[in-house]
Amino acid sequence: MSDFAPITAPARQRQQASIGQPLKRQEGVVKVTGAAVYAADNHPNGMLHAVMAVATIANGRVSALDVEAAKAHPGVVEVMTPANRPALAKDPDDRDDPFMFRLDLLQNDRVRYANQAIAVVIAETFEAATEGAALLAPRYDVEIPRLDMNAGEAFVPDAVGPGFPSAAHVGDVEAGLAGASRRLEATYDTPAQYHNPMEPHAIVAVWDGDKLIIDTPSQAMTIARGRLAGLFGIDADDIFIRSPYLGGGFGCKGAMMSPQVLGILAAKLVGRPVKLVPTRAQMYGPLGHRGATRQTLRLGMDEAGKLTALSHHTRTTSSVFDEFFEPASNISHTIYASPAISTTHDAVRVHTGTPMFMRAPGEASGSVALESAIDEAARACGMDPLAFRLANYAEHEPISGKPFSSKRLRECYAQAAERFGWRKRLLEPRSMRDDNGLLVGWGVGTASFPVVMFEAEARAILRADGTGVVETGAQDMGQGAWTALAQISADSLKLELDRTVFNAGASDLPDAGVAGGSGHTATVGNAIDAAGRDVIAKLVEMAIADPDSPLHGVAADQVVARWGRLEVVDDGVRGENYADVLRRAGVAEIEGHGRGRADADVAERYAMHAHGAVFAEVKVDPDLGQIRVTRMVGAFAAGRVINPRMVESQFFGAMIWGLGFALHEKADIDARTGRIMNADLAEYRVPVNADVGSIEALVVDEDDPHVNVLGIKGVGEIGVTGTAGAIANAVWHATGKRVRHFPIGIADMLADGAEVG
């Protein structure tokens, strides 16, 4: 369990709601002072270090390992190979859940992708283990790998993403295209991308008989315990996970992955605590990525610029041994009105690690293609790109016909456009320059992300001294969850922040579900709110049943809680403090419980999404082809805002990620070996400070009475979905070159022709 001191509320925040206050991070001080303990910071007595030896081929078999040379190296204790790996209760290739992935746990000598673990060296020091791994000198029987979507036969998967249908249709697309006044068909390619959080998938594992204690970053501790329980044939209650801090996650820590389980197996083999931390290069392969896509969009428009048909087909890649298919086409279900929509997917298997959830899975890849195509359609109709989007504004979700639970996208367009100065944009490309002669381009992209809720539980406690405690096994990947959830905790108990303690980050606390899908705050927040209401209701019943209470005999629905007191509605004088109720009852504390989950009936009736609009300015050197994003303005409507400071930070981070998608990020794969050539943080390019100019995020007020009790949507991923397309469209406006692959680079600017495929 992780106990944090209560947040100290500034004096001006006393006696008012915590929700909506721009508080600083609860855990900020311990992080910047180095006091925060991440998984790899743990060093139990007798701990050994484990290092993976990984394959340098993408397809074939390991024919030999020099295990004796490695074991002879000073400090090496053991070498784990398929020959001596401890037995498992379940085949690592068994999979019966979309949040579970097939694992490579030395079950045989087969190599399915580069960087797959082929052995684990365990030693007294990290250096000895590293040197021992090098001495293994593996030899291979090499087979030719399939490495891109042109190398294999495509097939239609049963499902895409975490179980979505691979195809969806409404209306007659072919008829809509045939009857259109103008038509567009274009294909867009997005590369494989790798989420590499600052903290790798470190694990420190300790076995105590059949009980397992681990320190590891996890976005879903209950799911992790269930997976490990199945693999090792033990009870989930005998597994304890500590995960108070995550140095980033982005989806890749949502499931237990092979290196983490190898660390546990190593500890079992040697009977001592073991730490295993993948190197940065080893993060590229066994720990998930965003799969490459090739997306073909066909759009039909009438004389007024209204869509008559929208077809969105995605071809993506997955591994040869597992199933995760990027659901990129599904973004076209929700944004633009069209009487006919068709979304389809097919896939090709390649020798790569399995793709998985990566920030805005499906929506990120799909939106950059859709928003580029929408811009091209606006050009074909001779319309301003924003005017075209407004002409095709969807009042109901196009694919389902459901009303939106709330939608303030028009206001997002209006506020961001005004702030950006969009009305000054000239329609023709290459028509704007700055004082230095650089080409200036302005682009817009629509942002959308579904409202996601998992299931979560929370516990709320009121103590005899009038303070409160809220507990749930939540995680904070760095986005500010500690603080936002503490604010919800205080308000749920109707206490000030400095009288509330929020505990999280361990698996012996109530299940907090999954920190993913931009649904963590909504899910856990509603569980906390329900737990607070439950314990307050118990306190009210205690008070009104007590003859010595000034509230005795008052109907329960006529009593309200206000900042540590129970009072009669509309009578602030008649009431008493929480502590007085508990003192007379002679109890030290009372406890309440709550759950957060989606309302299936509401989900059946409403389409629930967050929306936004992003405007981007780029400047391009006409001679050198260098591209710089000089301004970005985004406006987002995402339900109730718990902490404006944290929300702004989330929008900034997502917009910067979108910039990286458009201009930087790509895994370069060696066509001979299947190895990733830029498997480090120097050559795998992501935006740095110098790449980001002016950036603004506007929060558009939105009250959604349907999504959940607190009205929370999600903010973590939506900013990616509008930004990449806005930048691509701005590059076209600056240069007249429509680049249909990503990332866009200097070579594209210098290429001949107006279209770059």
> Is 12 among the domain residues?
yes
**443 and 459, same structural domain?**
no
> Is 346 among the domain residues?
no
Report which of 500, 592, 563 is spatially closest to residue 4, judged by C-alpha positions: 500
Dig out the tokens for 450 from the structure: 């579904």
N-term to C-term CA, the chain:
53
Q: What is the pLDDT of residue 402?
A: 98
Specify whether the CB–CB gap between 118 and 53 falls below 8 A: yes
Nearest-Å Rg of the Cα atoms of the chain is: 27
Q: Which amino acid is at 4?
A: F
Distance CA 202, CA 223 (A): 18
**534 and 583, same structural domain?**
yes
Distance CA 175, CA 156 (A): 24
Specify whether the CB–CB gap between 484 and 15 falls below 8 A: no
Distance CA 234, CA 225 (A): 10
**749 and 653, same structural domain?**
yes
> Is 396 among the domain residues?
no
Indicate which residues carry an active-site annotation: 717
282-319: buried (b, 16+ CB within 10 Å) or exposed (e) per residue?
A: bbbbbbbbbbbbbbbbbbbbeeebbbbbbbbbbbbbbb
Which residues share a beta bridge with 115?
none
Q: Is the dihedral of CA 356, 362, 366, 371 positive or negative?
A: negative
Helical (H) or strand (E) element with 755: strand 755-756
Q: What is the pLDDT of residue 16?
A: 73
Q: What is the pLDDT of residue 152?
A: 86
**532 and 501, same structural domain?**
yes
Specify whether the CB–CB gap between 147 and 674 falls below 8 A: yes
**548 and 417, same structural domain?**
no
Residue with tokens 């397992």: 212
> Is 278 among the domain residues?
no
What angle (nearest 5°) sits at the alpha carbon of residue 105, between those of residues 102 and 109? 105
164-189: buried (b, 16+ CB within 10 Å) or exposed (e) per residue?
A: bebebebbebeebbeebeebbebebb
Residues of the chain below pLDDT 70: 1-15
CATH number (domain holding residue 538): 3.30.365.10
**pTM of the full structure:** 0.96
Helical (H) or strand (E) element with 31: helix 28-32
Q: Is the dihedral of CA 332, 334, 337, 341 positive or negative?
A: positive
* Last residue within a domain, chosen from 535, 564, 597: 597
Q: Is the dihedral of CA 425, 426, 430, 434 positive or negative?
A: negative
Other Cβ atoms less than 10 A from the Cβ of 701: the count is 10
Cα dihedral value 4, 10, 11, 16, nearest 10: -80
Which residues share a beta bridge with 276?
50, 203
**752 and 610, same structural domain?**
yes
> Is 379 among the domain residues?
no
> Is 735 among the domain residues?
yes
**691 and 608, same structural domain?**
yes
pLDDT digits (tens, 9 = 90+) for 81-100: 999 999 999 999 998 887 88
Distance CA 129, CA 548 (A): 69
Structurally, the chain folds into a number of domains equal to 2
Q: Is the dihedral of CA 594, 597, 603, 607 positive or negative?
A: positive
Residue 409 lies in domain: 402-452+604-756
* Last residue within a domain, chosen from 543, 566, 597: 597
CA 228 to chain centre: 22
> Is 739 among the domain residues?
yes
